[in-house]
Amino acid sequence: MDPSSPDLLKLLQELNAIGIALSAEQDHNRLLEMILVRAKEITNADGGTLYSRTEDDHLKFEIMLTESLGIRMGGTSGTRIPYAPLPLYDEEGRPNNQMVAACAALSGKTINIPDAYTSEEFDFSGTRRFDERTRYRSKSFLTVPMTNHESEIIGVLQLLNAKDPKTGAVTTFSLLDQQLVESLASQAAVAITKKSLIDAQRKLFDSLIQLIADAIDEKSPYTAGHCRRVPVLTEMLADAACQTKAGPLKDFDMTEEERYELSVAAWLHDCGKITTPEYVVDKPTKLSTTFDRVHLIDTRFEVLKRNAEIAVLRRKLKDSEDDPSDLDLSNDDAYQQQLMQLDDDRVFLRRCNIGGESMSDEGRERVNQIGKYRWVDTSGKETNFLTEDEIYNLHISRGTLTQEEREIINNHVVVTIKMLKALPYPKHLQRVPEYAGGHHERMDGTGYPNRLTRDQMSIPARMVAIADVFEALTASDRPYKKAMSLSEALVIMGRMKQSNHIDADLFDIFLREKVYAKYAEQYLDVREIAEVDLTKIPGYTPSEEERSA
């Protein structure tokens, strides 16, 4: 064909367009399918097969097409290819040169066969059996190895039965067909290798995220469970927000890249906790340091009870000098009342030691009064029953952390943002620090670390914040509290919506699309899942359908 002919120029233009399309395709199956379909089109072939080379030196069937038989297997077809991979070597390690696809892969050379039935060089017995079953006639074969930039064979592109464009009769593959397919195979190998490298980089990046989670797991099993569950919740909420047909977010949508960016942020939202001291992260009770100091207080109560007993006995001995046998204390009402008070105080302090949702002013005052009891310590010095530090810790209103310890915990967000901003992100991941760093912000601007308002936060960042709160409320592996029931957690979140702490629109979707129920089925204990009455959730107005459900 004349190099300046319009037909050749058209083919070259088409080949160039194919190369551009291959470079742009992100889906691996569609990429492989595109390679075979375009090769079939430019050679006017009836069918073909694309093989990929496996690490154990086999050729795996990826795509099979035969237009006249209506065969379409592998790739995006959803139909599995039933054939076993072709070995490149036999059991003794000898090259499998009897099969044309294997021979092309091993030699790195194109094999153009005019008629398989007259070829004596290769084993086409399998082809003949296929023809007998289908009443087909496999004739011309063009088999082209695909070689990457490192001169490695990564696959084989095989075309079947070239057809005359005018008559439709099966003919041979021309030299031009061969050159065009070889060029296409070279472009395809570059595209496949590029995609493989991108996939490998993503796999490495995802593995590093898992590694960080594992490192936090070694530091604190409680935090690690949180780090693994928040991404699940975030993705569920993102799916629901994209699917909702009502409300202010009815037009909201996310691309696959944006979803991946959000997932990465959710996985890494607490990575700064890797620098947080364990005694703070895992502080199970208010009095815990390296051990729970409530046990020291238990001992002091025993000392007070012993001292009370000694005092009563001394008084009785003094008052009963003529009858020293009258030392029965069971009838001493004042003494028994004192013991009961001490036992009650001990139970009260143990209860205070467990982190709850609130601590009343009356409770703090009672702690102060108990703290003023006097006892003689191990050095023989009379001192207050509770130290200032013990009183300070027992006064904690919510949870188990003092203000100073909470600031240490809060600093993990600053560290998270600092760590994540230091990474050289590709364009599609540049918002990871923003999404991850906003999970403790509040919609009214009273959160931390940057006091962002709702309008200053992106929708994905607000999603991570809701997922973070809900997981923390329902988690059963926290050292300082028992897991809440589903209803209790949603009531608290409803109040948080009313006080403008979490995003109202997203929380409505969280309830309306039953995100909480989907999560609960997978991650919550069946004992924690009670029937949720949406009419009882503060700040939420159920639809008529939800009311009647």
Residue 370, in any domain of the structure: yes
Residue 215, in any domain of the structure: no
Residues 90 and 32 in one domain: yes
Residues 53 and 137 in one domain: yes
What gap in Å lies between CA 447 and CA 486, rounded to an integer?
25
Residues 410 and 496 in one domain: yes
Q: What is the pLDDT of residues 402-415, one digit of tens each?
A: 889 888 888 889 99
CB-CB contact of 223 with 274 (8 Å): no
Helix orientation angle between 221-243 and 256-268, rounded to the nearest 10 degrees: 160
Q: What pLDDT score does 135 carry? A: 92
CATH value at residue 504: 1.10.3210.10
Instruction: Tell me whether the omega of the peptide bond preceding residue 324 falls within 30 degrees of 0, making it cis.
Output: no
Number of domains in the chain: 3
Residues 155 and 228 in one domain: no
Residue 105, in any domain of the structure: yes
Q: What pLDDT score does 224 carry? A: 60
What gap in Å lies between CA 501 and CA 466, rounded to an integer?
10
From residue 65, alpha-carbon distances to 43, 117, 329, 422 in Å are 14, 21, 98, 48
Residues 408 and 528 in one domain: yes
CB-CB contact of 111 with 100 (8 Å): yes
Residues 376 and 421 in one domain: no
Residues 269 and 308 in one domain: no
CATH value at residue 76: 3.30.450.40
Residue 175, in any domain of the structure: yes
Residues 114 and 152 in one domain: yes
How many Å from the N-terminal Cα to the C-terminal Cα in the chain? Answer: 73
Q: What pLDDT score does 70 carry? A: 94
Residues 157 and 245 in one domain: no
Residue 206, in any domain of the structure: no
Residues 276 and 323 in one domain: no
Low-confidence ranges of the chain (pLDDT < 50): 1-5
Residues 353 and 368 in one domain: yes
- Structural domain that includes position 350: 294-400
Q: What is the pLDDT of residues 203-252, one digit of tens each?
A: 998 998 888 877 777 777 666 678 889 999 999 999 999 999 988 999 99
Residue 269, in any domain of the structure: yes
Predicted TM-score of the model (pTM)? 0.70
Q: Find, among 542, 509, 55, 28, the residue nearest to 244 by Cα.
A: 509
End residue of a domain, out of 366, 400, 434: 400
DSSP tag of 499 = T
Q: What pLDDT score does 6 carry? A: 53
Phi first, then psi, for residue 59 (nearest 5°) are: -105, 115
End residue of a domain, out of 356, 380, 400: 400
Residues 181 and 62 in one domain: yes
Residue 211, in any domain of the structure: no
- Which contiguous run of DSSP H or E holds residue 165? none
End residue of a domain, out of 385, 400, 415: 400
Q: Find, among 126, 57, 74, 191, the residue nearest to 141 by Cα.
A: 126
